[in-house]
Amino acid sequence: MDHRFLRFLVLAVLIIIGGNLINSWLFPRRPPQARAPKADKPAAPAEKGAALDKPAQPQAGPEKPGTSPKPEDPAKPAVPSEQPDLPPEPPQPDRLLMLGSLDPSSPYRMLVTLTSRGAALARIELNGRQYVEQENRAGYLGHVADARTRGEGCRIRMVGPGSPAAAAGLLGERWTKQGDQWKHEPGDLIVAVDGERILGPETLDEALRVRPPGRQTTLTIRRGDEELTIPVVLSRHPLQMVQPEGNDPLSLLLTLRRVGDRQLKTAADKSLLVGEELEGIDLWSSFWEVEKAEPHEVVFRRLLRAEQIEVRKAYRLSPLPEEKIKDPFAPAFHLTMSVEIRNAGSSGRELAYQLDGPTGLPHEGAWYASKVSPASGLAGLRDVLISLGGHNEMIHASVIASGKTPAPFQDFGAQPVVFAGVDTQYFAAMLIPRVKEPGENWFELAHALRVGPVPSDDPRLTNVSCRLVSLPQKIEPGQSLRHEYDLFVGPKRPELLAQYGLSSVVYYGWPIFAFFAVPLVKVLHALYWLVPNYGLAIILLTVLVRLCMFPISHKQAVNAQKMQMLAPEIKKIAEKHKKDLEARTRAQRELFQKHNYNPWGGCLLLFIQLPIFIGLYRALMIDVDLRGAALFGDQIRWCSNLAAPDMFFNWSGFMPDWVNKGQGIFGLGPYLNLLPIATVAIFNWQQKKLMPPPTDEQQAMQQKVMQWMMIFMGILFYKVASGLCIYFMASSLWSIAERQFLPKPAQPVGPQTRADAKAQARSDGDRNGNARKGRDAR
């Protein structure tokens, strides 16, 4: 029995390896582009920009619009000047600016926070009921706290439009310019929450953490010399698509890669991945001038006097027209950014810039999430994705964290960078160059980038991004190099991604799986329109799929019944021809032909069903609409997110850390999940109901192996999304019910069975004859 079980395990491993080999043969990966030589070991990136709200001394910086719906010419003429007279720059303050709103009824889909430090993107929060944090269930006031607060209370720095703080009338800091100087008016000071004293940003976070969303909370604030009591209704935390992470650099940081003969080190140098700038060029940590600040557009400006170069970064968030506000597929999930570098000197110079992508994307569900990836290896929760001429290259976060980052892509030729960014399970943040003509190339290099330190417990959580290096261009005095980008930050909805040219970001696996998954997702959404509950919609979709496959499954069940009926005869043939394999095979073939039984029918039908079931599995695992979809309503924590485990009970308080972390096979996570246990119980019931009793030792051994496999499946299924558990349970119950409606199997075929049948027939005939005689006598 042991050697048979060992053969079973070896065969399973060979099947997995063979499947991977067939996959690599049928769908070979495109050869990589010519790349620069790889460094021995990429060094850890240095700090490129300080954390948001970190205390710093004022420096300089403004900005200006200059964005347009279409890209302008790369060389933008300006008034030349032989001896430019550049006035001294006044000190610039450390400012935060906001675009958009958190109000779902507004013409915006997001709230964008910008900082004058490095003219960087600090935070993007999506609005809408569906786009909320799934793990943080505390009340949300807004990202209002000023980390620079010292002393009693917590100073409010910024109040985002559409946030609970804005609805309550709280005020943040204000800046007004008087000549060359900036005047600062501090925001409100929160001194108490429901009478609980606040001593700083940390105690404010602690006070809000224990207050649920929807609850009215009373804030005591000081505004100038006046103390006010203001009621505020907290909300759910909106999903942060981009956010600061510790001291990691912020998003969309820009620096000059080349100025004349000076340039940053080449890809052969370890310093390519290090956060450094050319000497004398401080664009990452300096404060830029705010040249323009409007509700939908902010322009930053930075003058490098020593280099006689003027740099502008403009951000624009276009509002939706009124008739499109309620359209979930309206293309409003993007932030437009333009880069303009002007040569303010007296001679022409070659200039090139370096632009880093988005950072701090969400990594929710670290203990249970599973992402499908086109690249080999273990996918991270946020991976770098670079599209070269329409072919996607994905670099996993775990690969970047290990220091084995592929060398930068270069020599693009006819396959330029189409988009580059960071991909997560349900969302993506992609930089899309707004080129004038398809196939136009702006870049010399493109590569993945590790932004912060590698988490010791899970490398998949590494904060990663991409880096784009522009081609050097000779810019004459007074002329400019100008490029424009769209930064898509939103859900991976196929209808939405198609409008941005990002359809390939959604990946279902092999093409045959996508062939079934795409229509099944559309059917699921149609069923949700009929019954506005995705749990019920999944059950209806399972029933619909099983109905369509009923002829196949019915034939498979009938085939299994025939096998059960022929089992005694097969056993007799095996005993009769123990030592003659050829005779045994011939006798079995004659028996199968006599009873019209195909021994391969069950396997063939299983292979026909497999792509459909896996396609449905992938559809449920990738569909963003299941994220946050509750089975019983938002107020009940259990099954409140069909894209995650059901989380019936939080046992993290008394379970060991290796269990709570959710890593490895036996890392079950911090919650007790009931649906996986129910799924495996139904699987076991289905096996006992449908599997015939063993007729020999080999079948008995196989059934024992299946029982152990059920326990192993229970461990593997423990962290599966609750929506998938509903699908598996509904499908198993359908199989059990389907078998109940089949006709009862005939009596087993065999010599004794046939004799009993003949005797029964004679007895029935005598009984019928006596009945006829009785009728005639009457």
Q: Which residue has the tokens 């240095």?
A: 46
List pLDDT tens digits, range 369-418. Answer: 888 888 766 777 899 999 998 788 899 988 888 888 888 888 777 789 99
List pLDDT tens digits, range 417-430. Answer: 999 999 998 999 99
Torsion of CA 628, 632, 638, 640, to 10 degrees: 0
Torsion of CA 250, 252, 256, 257, to 10 degrees: 100
Residue 735 or 72, more confident: 735
- Report how far residue 401's alpha carbon sits from residue 118's, in angstroms, rounded to the nearest whole number: 26
Mean pLDDT of 473-499: 94
Mean residue pLDDT of the chain comes to 79
For 89, the 3-state DSSP assignment is coil
* pLDDT of res. 549: 78
Contact 96/250 with Cβ under 8 angstroms?
no
List pLDDT tens digits, range 38-70. Answer: 333 333 333 444 445 444 444 433 333 333 344
Residue 557 has pLDDT above 80, yes or no: no
CA atoms 222, 226, 229, 235: torsion sign: negative
List pLDDT tens digits, range 155-190. Answer: 999 999 999 999 999 999 888 877 777 888 889 999
Residue 83 has pLDDT above 50, yes or no: no
* pLDDT of res. 65: 34
Residue 24 has pLDDT above 90, yes or no: no
For the record, the structure tokens of 593 come out as 């032909």
Residue 354 has pLDDT above 60, yes or no: yes
Contact 734/542 with Cβ under 8 angstroms?
yes
Q: How confident is the model at residue 603 (pLDDT cuts 50, 70, 90)?
A: low
Residue 306 has pLDDT above 90, yes or no: no
Lowest mean pLDDT, pick from 302-316, 349-363, 449-463, 698-712: 698-712
In the chain, the percentage of residues whose pLDDT exceeds 70 is 79
Residue 606 or 37, more confident: 606
Contact 695/400 with Cβ under 8 angstroms?
no
Mean pLDDT of 722-746: 80
* pLDDT of res. 8: 53
List pLDDT tens digits, range 533-551. Answer: 999 999 998 888 888 878 7
CA distance to 232, 557, 687, per residue, from 680 (Å): 46, 21, 10
SS3 content of the chain, % helix, strand, coil (to 5): 30, 25, 45
For 247, the 3-state DSSP assignment is coil
For the record, the structure tokens of 362 come out as 């969400």
Residue 608 has pLDDT above 50, yes or no: yes
Q: What is the DSSP letter of 529?
A: H
366, burial (CB in 10 Å: exposed 0-12, middle 13-18, buried 19+) = middle
Beta bridge partners of 431: 420, 487
Residue 469 or 89, more confident: 469
Most confident listed range (233-247, 666-680, 696-710): 233-247
Q: How confident is the model at residue 486 (pLDDT cuts 50, 70, 90)?
A: very high
Residue 477 or 739, more confident: 477
* pLDDT of res. 744: 60
Beta bridge partners of 650: 671
* Phi, psi angles (nearest 5°) of residue 94: -85, 105
Residue 613 has pLDDT above 90, yes or no: no
* pLDDT of res. 6: 53
Residue 479 has pLDDT above 90, yes or no: yes
